[in-house]
Amino acid sequence: MTFDQAQGMFRTHKTYETAYTYIAVASQRRAVKATNPDTFFNAVGEVASWLSASDEQLLAFEAAKTKATVCLAQAA
């Protein structure tokens, strides 16, 4: 998935899964220096802004992250 696709998915349908995917793609691209630091930090800021929520919602994000990690591992 490209950065633009992940960003577009998150912006059009904000869920914990799309937030995780957006951050994961931004992080992967930053790790291989395929994007500049500002782009990465803007993505993090955008998701963090959306996540300014209750503890219950943050726990749901952690569960989604774990599920996505398992799915990615199975796909590999």
Phi, psi of 33 (to 5 degrees): 60, 35
pLDDT tens, position by position, for the chain (76 residues)? 999 999 999 999 888 899 999 999 999 998 888 888 899 999 999 999 888 866 777 677 778 777 877 777 777 6
The number of beta carbons lying within 10 Å of the beta carbon of residue 25 is 21
- End-to-end Cα spacing for the chain: 14
Distance CA 24, CA 29 (A): 9
The tally of domains found in the chain comes to 1
State which residues form the domain around 49. Answer: 3-75
Distance CA 55, CA 50 (A): 13
